[in-house]
Structure 1
Amino acid sequence: MSVAPATVPGMPSDTAVQPSFEELGTPLRDVTFVVVDLETTGGRVADSWITEIGAVKVRGGEVLGELQSLVNPGRPVPAFVARLTGITTAMVATAPPLELVLPSFLEFARDAVLVAHNAPFDVGFLRDACERLGYDWPGYRVVDTVPLARRVVTRDEAPNHKLSTLAALFRARVTPEHRALADARATVDVLHALLERLAPLGVTHLEDLATAADPVPADVRRKRTLADGLPEAPGVYLFRGPGDEVLYVGTSTNIRRRVRSYFTASEKRARITEMLRIAHAVTPVVCATALEAQVRELRLITEHAPRYNRRSKHPERATWVRLTDEPYPRLSVVRDVRHGAEHIGPFTSRRTALAAVEALHDAFALRQCTARLARVSKVAGSPCALAGMGRCSAPCTVTAAPDEAYDDVARAARVALTGDPRRVVEPLAARVGLLASQERFEEAGRVTERLRAFLRAAARAQRLQPVSRCAELVAARPTGAGGWELVVVKHGRLAGTAVTGPHEDPLPVVDALRATAEAVAPPVAPAPACHPEEADLVLDWLEQPGVRLVHVSDPWSWPVRSAAAHVDLARVRAEVGAEPSGQPGDGAGGEGGQVGRHADTMAAC
């Protein structure tokens, strides 16, 4: 067997290395198979019992041993089963019970790969037997010869894929006769014949056999060697095209295993199959932690904008809703965040941002005109139609003194954006209830979508704002091996990470990490100094149980009565009409409660 040379990460690109068979997987000739067949009193596990077990152990085409035993089911064998198998009640009356036979089979099949024709039937009975008798199921790898036969035996060769039909086609040395050992021997010959047919298709290792029945195009399956030599470690992988351009970026806890999975039937995305056809190489980037891998994936997608990645490629297209810094503020959908104004977001689309604006306009009589108005106009303007509908206090008409009524409206809108959103939730929830009672469900659905768009964006901005303002945050989480996973976060951006060993003092590592961490310029909050999704990943990590704050340069908390307490719209109608003190958002629930826990921790630091 010839193996194409591969490039090993960390070596010069022109250095060819011949992968070993161990890197490719386990050759089928080295795999020990135990081919098993059962006879039972019926076809259902729930009300049937095993009457005979037959098994043949083979490796490299050589028979290593056989096991056969009748089993006393403890009840009569049905007449139709006796006619089919020849096993009668009298034959099994003196046979050993299953509790004596099963341990022998489990020992016989230890460390082997189970093979059966229509494996779900036989394996189902064996698993049930282990459960009833108190044995742990060994977790065998299982190979079913039926789907393998469907892959390589056409209808022109055989009318069906029954064991007797295949045994005749491949001229098996034993004819199946519905007796366990004979059928197992026939299945051995069928298995070897199927493996001979699968070898030209590239199925030469146990790992290939696990997906041999997958309907994967041949040109795609041949490229599975791109996974050869990749590290079995967490990190990021980059599929590259003929010009070394990045086609796709992904992340996994096991790079090699994940890349191999692209060449199996579990990958059903047409665009990924198209990508695999033009991919020439895979570049791995090993990462110390899963968080680092997720962040690196996001940054690489942003940097290269691979054509086969659909998410996170254009952070500059994210939109925000701003309450402008004007004498008479208004709502505006913008691309950037500026000092001196309140923002919510970011939104994934302009349509969602406009829905949130509509929700705010439903709750507050903010002006919707785009003209810049003076605090006191010299000449009164003409009120618009919204003023006539009572949805705007028309500050453009004020000439004598500032419009204090509009100031109250703007102040309430500012509180809803940055803190308690009840002034938006209550009127819109009441409207949803009214529309639903009138069976105007489509309108109620549109109002609900607007409310949801606002709440999600407000909750996200309130979550991002404190971490965006924090100049430096150092946190630690215990690893399963007894060490610590350490991170340095600056203005929401992952600036450094490290992992310590089980007996290593983490404090010197923390000092070194802080000294060598990336320098990050402060952003305009609530926008973080990175892709918003990166800040979300960092916050998700920080909010996990067991995370400890080592150092915080600035307060990290957000209001208990925040939008996060209202995002669950299933509770909106229950909140309608409730007194402010009885609002579910008054407690430190949901995300607010999680932040409150960290805020208490920071106060103690």
Structure 2
Amino acid sequence: MPSGPTRTRVRIVHQSLLTQEFLVVDTETNGKAGDACELTEVGAVLVGGGELHDRWETLCAVHAPLSRGVQRLTGITQAMVDAAPAAETTLPELAELLEDRVLVAHSASFDVRVLRQAFDRAGLDWPDPPTLCTVAMARRLHPLARQRKLALLAGSLGIDVEVSHRALADAETCARVFCALFPKLCANAITVADAVALLRPARPRRARAGRTDGGATLQGVRRRAPAMGHLPDAPGVYVFRNEAGQPLYVGKSVSLRRRAAAHFAPSSTDGDWSARVESVDHVETRSELGALLEEQRLIGELLPPGNVRDKHRDRFVYLRCRFDIAFPVLEVAPEPAPGHAVNVGPLASRAGALELVEQLNSLFGLRHCGRSLPRRPHPSAYGQMGRCASPCLGDLDPNAYRRKLDEALALFTRRDTVGGVPASTHPLLRHVDEQMRRAAAAERYERAAWLRRRRARLEELLAALGEDVAAAHARPRLVLASHRGVRGWDAFWLVGGRVADHGPLDDVQDGVARTVRALRDTGPGTVPHLAPADVGRQRIAETWLRGRVVPTLELDPEPARRRIAAFLRAHGVPEPPADGVGAPDARRGAPAPPLSPRGRTAAR
């Protein structure tokens, strides 16, 4: 039979949440790490029945002097801790308060570690009560709160915070957060044990950064490399398969032979799939971008167990507007929005994109809140300043708001020209210039000066965000890409905000026909409806092209067939054979037959 604290803990965890008492605790320390960390103050609040009851607090003496930074942050001075009682005299009282109660804290692991260390130094037994963490409660029961620092979390729940970084004040704030989330906790758990299990952090197997094989290892397993003599030293995608022909891992490289062999080098990390490899297939491309798109397609089709979902590791983001709600908002996300939407980007800075959203919202009176429209009896702060049309009041015509939104988006979806040449000044800057002229004509000189300052900032912002801050569908184009040492081109048709077509380009006639077909399927100037499967391909293509100089033919306005043919000829694309029958497989870089889920690539 368990005895002492263990027996008490077993009894508590089987108690009902509705009848259990909770002690919400917060600690302050000297700010040092490890064994040098010392407790300076403890605050506790008794909670029962969803209400706050008794309060308790104490300062604790420390051995090492407090730093000036800690004194400024907490307001606890050296004189205060010098006059405080020793921990040996105050902690037994805290142990009595914890008896038969559940400990609650914000980032509870930190407070428990500090208290356990203080009890050990004082020669006291740690009562080891069941513990609940309000950070875990917020993550599980209040997921819309992105910021989980105590004051910010309390604000998201409508709780006022007046004092921070003092133990009792923070314990009271934490107790109010706990009470606000307590009904949701009771709806998902019956006993204390259920609540502890519900808030226990999940610990899935995590992959190392940069790896796409799942991160698992098989130590001591001999890896036998399959035959790879048929792999070329060219860009493309390779697929490792097991004895039954099932795909294990998909990878891409600008040198298929070297990259595939590197998985079986003595210095490479073991993967849980590498010991089962029996064969390798490949698809050859003529460019790195072609290999990237083919890799993304094959991973989606074959679902190999060795690949995990790719995470964006670059800085690019999109400014996007989705039209699936009555009052659409501008938002910033790492990838284009699927469905009926306008996507501006990719943009080179998330902070810059967020500032651009704020600038557009203020200039056009658009919503500053999220996609869920709150209902308010009074305008928000932006509405009171005249920078928001305040649809939250419930009396705004959606069509009037949509006209304002369309006016803002038009600055990124049209390509103005001057004398047949694209204008050098961004439409957004020209819009602000026109607003300045109107303000000056109306003798509103303060507004004109405000607009002049805003224009200067917008000019800096647009320059920092990238080459061409425009909607993805507003610049249809044909792009040619190749890799050093490879004959021929991969062609990419970026039309309608998506990769409408891509692949090796055989001859001029093939390129003209595919261009006409891409423009017919998705004409220039239309707002796209991006399928979810196209989102990843569009982002891969646009981010790869950023900063690279490649042959490009603009397709808006739609060029004549002879102009398309002239562009292709100028970059060495061959004419079709006179008899109409070619032998493209004889050229290096010709496309390999498509891979099936189980079969191998046919002989070339």
TM-score normalised per structure 1: 0.35
Please tell me whether Structure 1 or Structure 2 has the larger radius of gyration of its CA atoms: 1
TM-score normalised per structure 2: 0.35
Where is the helix percentage greater, Structure 1 or Structure 2? 1
